[in-house]
Structure 1
Amino acid sequence: MLMTPDTLHPPYAPDLCNDDLAPIPLARRDWTWVNMATVWMGMVHNVVVYEGAAGLMALGLSAWNCLEVVGVAYAILFVTMAYNARGGTRYGIPFCVLIRSAFGPRGAQVPVILRGFCAIFWFAVQAYTAAQAMDAILCTLSPGWASLGLRIGGLPVHMALSMVAIWLLHAWIANHGVHRIRNFELVAGPLVILIGLAATVWAIRVGHGLGPLFATPATLHGTAFVAAFTTGVTGMIGMWATFAVNIPDLSRFVRSERDQIVGQAIGLPLTAIVFTPMAIIVTSASIVMFGHPVWNPITLLLLLHKPAIMLFGGATLILATLSVNVVANIMPACYDLMNLMPRRLDFRRASRLVLVIGILFMPWLWFNEAEGIFRVLDIIGGLLGPVTGIMIADYFVVRRQRLTVDALYRHGDVYDGTDGWHRPGIVAFVAGGLAASLGQFVPSIAWLSSVAWFVGVAVGGLAYLALVRPRTARHATQVTS
């Protein structure tokens, strides 16, 4: 049963708070830098990031250039997330509550719903990828598995059953709550890295060194190289732009600012720089073995025709997917749904709702319309760039890192704006979103899409500072920490 806000703090509005959304007392924030690092390790090594190296090399960059792109992109992400996480660490509040200071309690629902949409979509996509690995494992164990020819909703019944198994695994982990998720990542994150290192050693033996991909030079030079490099950096940032917004969902559990920064530094840029060459080296080995690069790890496992490797490798891919999905997608989506219905949903109920909505997305059909779907997601991701800029501008410049936490859970207080809508936040969000998305619709400035996230962050943040009224800034100094 959900506790009512009255049992948490009498002044809290019942439609703005429940146990899971309430501030976490300092005594209960028990995540160390180790927990933060392993959570990020669990997120960074996933199939989408693995295949991202293929996209970079397809632009005409060399393998070494790919590592440079990854280094620059994840350094920018680390700085952005380290700053945006500070409010969560200091006050123990999630993204959907922190953002109320810039948008108002009702206006905050706009970016929260957008973020929730992205989270549930990516959950469905990642879960479907894991289901493919599960299906490959079951086909290996039982050759007759793939012969189950019935179709359910356009999906072969054997694949549908594999998806059911994956969905149940997600439900089992999420049902244990946030603190057990931390324990799961404590094991899963480092374990997948160790397995990746073993795969890399195997690939180096097969390729008699780093392999042909590391010997292939870049095919671009001059302005073309700069354009491709910039596009690569933006694309890599785009994979995590949504998480740059809701990083307070994790940092609220961390016991200190130092733990948050050290953990993210180890788990985010460092892990990414280690993981990317693993993907490239293993793919190099596939060229030696099959004569062409195989970037999809599931396809590579099937081509090897070794049951033991298929079972072990498939289980690793499932573990890696569970690791990223639970923290990067289910957790933020749960908070976003709870923010919409705090009196009806707690974390466990919200996680079950995420699983149901994820099925309704029918990711097996979306895979056939990848170009259109990812264009929509690029637009939504561009809209979240301004949210990042607005949050940083509001917290560091306008509020000077000082918030009245109780006021975030009340209507008619200092953050309420006009009937719950803080207009500078809404207008800056629209302005930044339009600027970031313009390249998608105007061919003459299509190049803008390659830096859409940067444009969104800059325009959103600067527009917010220009629009916020002087009296709002004065209110920022009349708060307690």
Structure 2
Amino acid sequence: MTALDATRPPETPTTDGTTSSVLYTYDLAPTKKEGRRWGAYNVFTLWANDVHSLGNYAFAIGLFALGLFALGLNVWGILAAFLLASVLLFLLLTLSGFMGHKTGVPFPVMSRIAFGIRGAKIPAAVRGTVAIAWFGIQTYLASTVLGALLTALFPGLRPLDENSFLGQSALGWITFLGLWAVQLVIVSYGMQMIRRYMAFAAPTTLITMCALAVWMFVRAGGSISLSVDAPLVGGEMWLQVLQAAALWVVIYGTFVLNFCDFTRSARSRASIVRGNVIGIPVNMLFFAVIVVVLSGARFKLDGRIITSPTDIVRTIPNTALLAIASLALIALTVAVNLLANFVAPIYALIDLFPRRLNFRRAGVVSAVAGLVILPWNLYDSPVVVNYFLGGLGALLGPLFGVIMADYWLLRKSKVNVPDLYSEDPRGEYHYSRGFNPRAVAAFVPGAAIAVTVALVPLFHPVAGFSWFVGAVLGAAVYALIADRTAPVRDVDGEAIAVAAE
């Protein structure tokens, strides 16, 4: 039996015989210990793919240029920002990852612990909406690389890139739909196919990006030219370092929330820690060095600041090398999309429509939604990206704060897994008609303040800290008002778990 099986397993009673067919499906069931196949290498490949995404390179190169020429940071200050961000991410992701390993449940079910069996749909819907939008945008970015490659290999295709329909040329539609379909096919085979794809894409990506950096370094004569006329020092410098590090953490505000979707399949806590150590601090510093070399070498060659590694790829004079580099970037972007932007909405949709959707069907719905929003129009509109996606992203901080405070501070990591699937009013997570009013009361002010900090121009100098502001406020308020008198039991989910794929 695999995650693609549309037939749900028969209801298996919990300790009090109240398992609900609305809350429990095959795909949302806790992963059995014998079904956990993710080792340290699989966790590492997750980060090896995600850190080196096209979107991350574009952001990091932009941050690098901003730091050097606008903020006054030198190279060491920017590397310090990356190092600080990687340490923070390691801590946050390890805490989140341990939750998945402990319970074996995906994020929509994990949210029930703090928000209640029905209130959990709030964080799941927010996370899923953000992911669907970015799924479409990342697919569009990969399709532009594929389009550039095809026109370089087959110049006769260039006329197809000149017309426009709904904001895309004919070639743009062909490349977008092609990559869209490839991702849908991969997802249709379930989480284990995603795991195998990551294992293939990670070393390919690392080798290609390293080779690209070496090639640019050699072209620049074995040195890079990056300097600041008046670099910041002291407190001003560290404030900018903190701001840059915070911006980098915000990018992973989605992943720290639903990392349990992957670590529910981890063999042990040790595998999570080892995979995170190599995949985040070590890999992120390697990523930072590549950004430094690519940006610095290109600046020395012609005085231009690149905005994406595709700017470098297009300058490769050898057709074979151009094809290899482009295909590697495309494979990388597909891997990132599968990890960060496909799995989350799939589980969210299954949770919202458990009687109608399984993993495959939810994948189709997510993909169609990512298509109909015409993501290239979103990406080309700074207003939409900044206000819609930026506002939704700011909501992730207080959600994370409430969930972490409930799990680690209030419950001390003790979870009654069977009650996560129970509609019994006496159940531990039923709260008030399935909603925990205290979690909502902690989330709302944290979310309001985080969104204000992120979007109101008055707070622009500290906008990069919006995720942290929301997370700290959400956790602090919840810790103050949470009900500490309710009994907390530690019960695993083996009684109701089915074998994971």
TM range, smaller chain: over 0.9
Q: Give, in angstroms, the shift of residue 270 of structure 1.
A: 1.4
After TM superposition, the structure 1 = structure 2 runs for residues 22-421 of structure 1, keeping only pairs within 5 Å, are: 22-57=29-64, 58-59=66-67, 60=71, 61-148=73-160, 149-213=162-226, 215-216=227-228, 219-411=231-423, 412=425, 413-421=427-435
Matching residue's letter, 2:46: V
Contact 1:37–1:263 (CA<8 Å) still a contact in 2?
yes
Which one is further off, 364-373 or 241-250? 364-373
Percent identity for Structure 1 against Structure 2: 28
Residue 22 of structure 2 corresponds to which residue in structure 1?
15
Q: Deviations for 1:403-427, whole angstroms, at most 9, x for unmatched residues?
A: 1111001112111111111011111
Aligned mates of 1:218, 1:170 — CA distance in 2: 47
Aligned mates of 2:455, 2:147 — CA distance in 1: 39
Q: Give, in angstroms, the shift of residue 443 of structure 1.
A: 5.0
Call closer, same or farther: CA 1:256–1:441 in 2, change over 3 Å. Answer: closer
Aligned mates of 2:387, 2:163 — CA distance in 1: 32
Contact 2:378–2:384 (CA<8 Å) still a contact in 1?
no
Aligned mates of 2:343, 2:229 — CA distance in 1: 41
Indicate the RMSD between aligned Cα atoms, in angstroms. Answer: 1.9
Aligned mates of 1:322, 1:243 — CA distance in 2: 16
Q: Give, in angstroms, the shift of residue 291 of structure 1.
A: 3.0
Aligned mates of 2:104, 2:117 — CA distance in 1: 18
Q: Does 1:4 align with 2:18?
A: no
Matching residue's letter, 2:238: V
Q: Deviations for 1:84-131, whole angstroms, at most 9, x for unmatched residues?
A: 121210121111101101001111111111100111111111110100
Aligned mates of 1:2, 1:409 — CA distance in 2: 19
Q: Deviations for 1:337-375, whole angstroms, at most 9, x for unmatched residues?
A: 111112211111111111111011211112221244223
Call closer, same or farther: CA 1:112–1:222 in 2, change over 3 Å. Answer: same
Call closer, same or farther: CA 1:443–1:141 in 2, change over 3 Å. Answer: closer
Call closer, same or farther: CA 1:197–1:102 in 2, change over 3 Å. Answer: same
Call closer, same or farther: CA 1:87–1:285 in 2, change over 3 Å. Answer: same
Q: Deviations for 1:285-304, whole angstroms, at most 9, x for unmatched residues?
A: 22233331223222322234
Matching residue's letter, 2:447: G
Q: Give, in angstroms, the shift of residue 191 of structure 1.
A: 1.8
Contact 2:390–2:455 (CA<8 Å) still a contact in 1?
no
Tell me, what secondary structure is at the counterpart of 1:480? coil
Aligned mates of 1:273, 1:217 — CA distance in 2: 25
Contact 1:3–1:18 (CA<8 Å) still a contact in 2?
no
Aligned mates of 2:223, 2:36 — CA distance in 1: 43
The one of 438, 448, 455 equivalent to 2:452 is 438
Contact 1:5–1:13 (CA<8 Å) still a contact in 2?
no
Q: Give, in angstroms, the shift of residue 311 of structure 1.
A: 1.2
Q: Does 1:480 align with 2:484?
A: no
Residue 458 of structure 1 corresponds to which residue in structure 2?
472
Tell me, what secondary structure is at the counterpart of 2:242? helix
Q: Give, in angstroms, the shift of residue 317 of structure 1.
A: 0.8
Aligned mates of 2:475, 2:90 — CA distance in 1: 18
Aligned mates of 1:328, 1:367 — CA distance in 2: 17
Contact 1:128–1:363 (CA<8 Å) still a contact in 2?
yes
Q: Deviations for 1:305-327, whole angstroms, at most 9, x for unmatched residues?
A: 44223211110110110111111
Aligned mates of 2:77, 2:455 — CA distance in 1: 30
Contact 1:36–1:263 (CA<8 Å) still a contact in 2?
yes
Aligned mates of 2:447, 2:171 — CA distance in 1: 42
Aligned mates of 1:442, 1:194 — CA distance in 2: 42
Call closer, same or farther: CA 1:69–1:33 in 2, change over 3 Å. Answer: same
Matching residue's letter, 2:50: M
Contact 2:186–2:194 (CA<8 Å) still a contact in 1?
yes
Contact 1:230–1:450 (CA<8 Å) still a contact in 2?
no
Q: Give, in angstroms, the shift of residue 141 of structure 1.
A: 1.9
Q: Which runs of 5+ in 1 are unaligned?
A: none
Tell me, what secondary structure is at the counterpart of 2:430? coil
Aligned mates of 1:67, 1:53 — CA distance in 2: 11
Aligned mates of 2:104, 2:43 — CA distance in 1: 15
Number of aligned residues: 477
Contact 2:188–2:363 (CA<8 Å) still a contact in 1?
yes
Call closer, same or farther: CA 1:198–1:8 in 2, change over 3 Å. Answer: farther
Matching residue's letter, 2:33: L
Q: Does 1:470 align with 2:452?
A: no
Aligned mates of 2:232, 2:91 — CA distance in 1: 29
Aligned mates of 2:229, 2:110 — CA distance in 1: 46
Q: Deviations for 1:190-216, whole angstroms, at most 9, x for unmatched residues?
A: 221111111122122112234112x44
TM norm structure 1: 0.94
Call closer, same or farther: CA 1:361–1:217 in 2, change over 3 Å. Answer: farther
Aligned mates of 2:114, 2:308 — CA distance in 1: 41
Q: Give, in angstroms, the shift of residue 259 of structure 1.
A: 0.8
Contact 1:241–1:385 (CA<8 Å) still a contact in 2?
yes
Aligned mates of 1:150, 1:374 — CA distance in 2: 28
More helix by proportion, 1 or 2?
1
Q: Which runs of 5+ in 2 are unaligned?
A: 493-501
Which one is further off, 178-187 or 369-378? 369-378
